Structure 1
Amino acid sequence: MHLKPNLLKAVTHLLVNTGKNQCDLYIKDLRRLQLDGLYTVYLGGTDISEGLVTGEVPEPSSSKKKVNAWSMMHAGGSRGWVPWNYKLMFKTDQFLWSPCSEIFQELCVSLSNSYGKCVIVAKPVNAAVETNGPSMIEMEQHHCPSSPVLVNFMSCCPLVAQSHGHEFFCLPSHCGHFSPLDTAWSALKWYTTKNRHEYTTKHFGKESLRKTILFKDLIENGMEQMTASKWVTATSIVQKRENDYLNRKRTAVV
């Protein structure tokens, strides 16, 4: 079914305005909690492809069939990576979502012990992945969810966060750039690409050549590239973007 041009324009306008309003409410509520003394922690994930680690690019004929990657979950803020063991799950084209609420419970305990009360800001999985055909407007997740939300492969329950004194926020779909995690993932992947050969050893057999990659060392040293000073810079940029957004909103109203 094809939407008529006028109807498509109206739907697009409604979605954009809905996203802008969500961003506005999200930033104001986040600032309110920050003023109350809650430390902001950004939670999210990224995919580290098998080719990025090995340096081997799949053949064009098979590239669409195989989606092999490590799916990583971690969190950080202006004070750096949180003192919590990051989680890795290997996924293929047969990968099935397996929510692990215990992981989120572990994270909440770690945050309480290290920082006290926090506001956990996460980017949820797109609703289109989880359901079979929600309306475009229903796919807009409220930034203060009341039910569990899937973030990468982890189920995050707002009630669990609140039981530990934390608040749980979702980044609205139009506010993805209000998170410093993209900077952290870029630093990790850049290091992996440039230095993977230093973590690779070759074993020559009678009929074949085998490579061994010190994957754990490669990833952990890559994570260390996101230093404390880089975290401060990245979170400061996010705060500036939020300020610019609110200032534009005020100017538009006037």
Structure 2
Amino acid sequence: MQRFANPLLRHVLPRGYSDAAQKQQCLKYLRSLRTLQFNGLNTVFLGETDIPESLITGEKSSEEPDLRWPIWTLVHAGSCQGWVPWQYKLLLRCDLPTHQQNGAFQEFCESLTTSHGKCVIVTRDKTQLRRVRAKDDKETETETLPPALPAIHIASIKCCPEVARANGHELLVVPSSYNYLYLMDVAWSSLKWFIINNRNNFSLRSIDRTHSYRCILLSDLIVKGLENMTPNKWNAAFNRVKRWENYYLGTLS
């Protein structure tokens, strides 16, 4: 019996430790966020989303599952006031640099200083997500890593805390296990539903004797999709995140 109990305990105990570590990470994040907000910093969420060609055209065939469809990556930021007045980045996945530079993040921080003053920039770290998806036997090892990383990587931008501080901002990583605390997911959902429901209105067709052509005004579609996430929707989503923050602060403290 002892032989069968030990493997079970080895599985249960690390999971309990992992859950406790995630709760402590969330509590540390929320306390840091509240301190920065109390010191007068505005909260801005920075994120990315993938926009596959099949979402834009609606023509992906289930008979070709191995076909590699082009994917665009959209990088943008928002706050309770709406989208940040910064020229968002829309890059084709294959054009993304192998070694990300912080030039785009520097540009973002400078624009943010002009439009919002000093801010706490909340983002999601892709390397953190990969650690969460790791196998159970590696979870306890990764959870012991410090939550503050030297650089935070999203698809096309390397977010450096030093660059943020040089512009008067602070950089925080939202805990990957607490998705309700990340405002950008609501904005991306709004954008993609707009694309699905309105992509035909941004399409032009040309038919000749042998072929039929379809032109999609992608830039206009993206712009209108972003506008669909109005300041009122941003404010409502921001207040919803605020309630979740208060809930976790009350239950995890």
> Given the two structures, how large is their TM-score scaled by the length of structure 2?
0.89
Instruction: Report the count of equivalent residues.
Output: 243
Q: Residues 164 and 187 from structure 1, CA distance in 2 versus in 1: closer, same or farther, beyond 3 angstroms?
A: same
1:69-126 CA distances to partner (integer Å, 9 max, x unpaired)? 111110001111111111111126x977441311000000001111111000000103
How far the C-alpha of 1:64 sits from its partner, in A, is 3.8
Alignment-derived partner of residue 117 in structure 1: 118
Alignment-derived partner of residue 149 in structure 1: 152
Alignment-derived partner of residue 86 in structure 1: 88
1:124-160 CA distances to partner (integer Å, 9 max, x unpaired)? 1034759xx8942454465533x11102321110000
Question: Which letter maps to 2:186?
Answer: T
Alignment-derived partner of residue 45 in structure 1: 48
What percentage of aligned pairs have identical amino acids?
A: 35
Alignment-derived partner of residue 56 in structure 1: 59
Alignment-derived partner of residue 104 in structure 1: 105
**Pick aligned residue for 1:237 from 215, 236, 240:** 240
Alignment-derived partner of residue 192 in structure 1: 195
| 2:224 aligned with 1:221 | yes
> Equivalents in 2 of 1:36, 1:49: separation in Å?
40
Structure showing the higher helix proportion among its residues: 2
Say whether the 8 Å CA contact 1:97–1:153 is kept in structure 2: no
Q: Unaligned stretches of 5+ in structure 2? A: 1-5
Q: Alignment partner of 2:220: what SS? A: helix
Say whether the 8 Å CA contact 1:49–1:70 is kept in structure 2: yes
RMSD: 2.2
Q: Unaligned stretches of 5+ in structure 1? A: none
> Equivalents in 1 of 2:231, 2:189: separation in Å?
15
Q: Residues 142 and 38 from structure 1, CA distance in 2 versus in 1: closer, same or farther, beyond 3 angstroms?
A: farther
Say whether the 8 Å CA contact 2:128–2:176 is kept in structure 1: no
1:183-202 CA distances to partner (integer Å, 9 max, x unpaired)? 10111001100000010011
**Pick aligned residue for 1:205 from 185, 208, 216:** 208
> Given the two structures, how large is their TM-score scaled by the length of structure 1?
0.88
Comparing both chains, which one has the higher relative contact order based on Cα–Cα distances under 8 Å and sequence gaps of 6 or more?
2
Question: Which letter maps to 1:79?
Answer: Q
